Amino acid sequence: MTLPGRRGTTLPPGRPTPPGLHRHPATLPMTRAVALLLALGAAGFMLALSPQQPAPPRSAEPALTEAYPGATVQDTPGALADGSVYSPLFFLSATGSVGTALSPGGDDVRLLLRDRGGERELRRMPKDRAAEFAGFTSDGTILAWVELSSDADGAGRSGIWTARLDGGAARLVTTDTGAVMLFDKQGDLALHDGQLSWMADAGKPGFSAIHTVPLAGGKPVVRELEGGYAISTWPWLVSEAVADAGSIELNNPQTAERVLVGVQTGELMSCSATWCRSLVIGSTEASTVIELMRPDGSERLRTVTGAVSSAIADVAVLDRFEVYTRSTQGLTTTRVMLYDLKTRSLALVTANAGRVACRGGVLWWSTGDNETLTWHALDLRTL
């Protein structure tokens, strides 16, 4: 489906080469077998007399529970009670999430609010409408999101929806959204001051527009801006990240304050209202360098190097955490690491992850597939 707006992208983690296959001999000649048994016996005797062998080398980063003794990862099965595959899109807590699943008959796409207490259906749309749900945000009472779909003629449709977390039916706030721009960031839909705001294409080159509507509904207020922006922490906007752009601009349209962030040659810079991430890809897969700094250029520090990438588009979640992935040659798993700006240190979240995402202060990842699919969630607000 062609979405009504543009999407931002992040560099995907590298895909390591799977290990080779090893042939296992079926038989051994008898004389060799006897000799082998004698050798093994002698080796066992010598090992019993020798000091204890060293343990396998540890990961360069401490495990999550070593770095944060109180950290708790909660697991959510990848299938619902009716057997449908569940895909979480947003976690309200480590145990509560919003996601999609097909109806048992496979004809509809359901948007579900899921917690230990059960499942609550928020929306249901025919599968052939190519429904997509994005931009989730919540203040702990209200859940809001962007809904994208197509009509019978294939024309794109979009709307802003909300639902109370304590119950009740989902409610349409507006369909007057403009050409919604989604960047796969926390600020794709901003909930603030009893209002919802999002970015849209202004319909003319070099301009974008902020749309703002009250939660109660009504006609959105539209403000055009020269340049392309995404919402960071409201009311701050940040220009789209491009390589060798010369600078990135932070813009507060309420105060007219602007901050220009310099971009060096060869680095990909992305910013939040408080931190910027510099990513420089070296000449080899294992020579990537990631650094963080304040938008004014101060406090620049190197956070990670090697065969690494940022797992998410958002910079410095909760103004504290960066989420990185590392690929290891010869392994087919993805290592997920957490960099803590408070302690200036890395921790290994998991050595085996599939999909990785983070929203609203909750980090989650998948393991397994089909019958073994499981989602794991860590509430970063508890660390």
pLDDT (tens digit per residue) in 240-265 = 765 556 789 999 999 999 999 999 88
Alpha-carbon radius of gyration of the chain: 25
Q: Taking residues 83-94, what's their average pLDDT?
A: 97
**6 pLDDT higher than 80:** no
- pLDDT digit string (tens) for 32-63? 333 333 333 333 333 333 334 344 334 579 99
What is the structure's pLDDT at 95?
97
342: buried, middle or exposed (CB in 10 Å: 19+, 13-18, 0-12)?
exposed
User: What percentage of the chain carries pLDDT values higher than 70?
Assistant: 82
Q: Which fold has domain 61-382?
A: Methylamine Dehydrogenase; Chain H (2.130.10)
Q: Taking residues 165-176, what's their average pLDDT?
A: 97
What is the structure's pLDDT at 7?
40
- pLDDT digit string (tens) for 185-240? 999 999 999 999 999 999 999 899 999 999 999 999 999 999 999 999 999 999 97
Q: Pick the range with the lowest mean pLDDT from 19-28, 117-126, 299-308.
A: 19-28
What is the structure's pLDDT at 10?
35
- Delimit the domains of the chain by residue range: 61-382
What is the structure's pLDDT at 192?
97
* Own/partner pairs, 45-49, CB within 8 angstroms, 24+ separation: none
- pLDDT digit string (tens) for 270-291? 999 999 999 998 877 678 999 9
Q: Taking residues 306-310, what's their average pLDDT?
A: 93
Non-local (6+) Cβ contacts of 323 within 8 A are: 310, 311, 312, 317, 336, 337, 338, 339, 349, 356, 358, 363
Distance CA 132, CA 218 (A): 23
The model's confidence at residue 14, banded by pLDDT at 50, 70 and 90, is very low
Compute how many other C-beta atoms are within 10 angstroms of the C-beta atom of residue 347.
22
What are the CA-CA distances from residue 255 to residues 122, 123, 220, 252, 275 (Å)? 37, 38, 21, 6, 20
Q: Taking residues 150-168, what's their average pLDDT?
A: 91
Residue matched to tokens 């080469």? 17
Non-local (6+) Cβ contacts of 251 within 8 A are: 225, 227, 229, 236, 237, 238, 239, 257, 258
Q: Taking residues 150-179, what's their average pLDDT?
A: 93
The model's confidence at residue 24, banded by pLDDT at 50, 70 and 90, is very low
Q: Is the pTM of this model over 0.95?
A: no
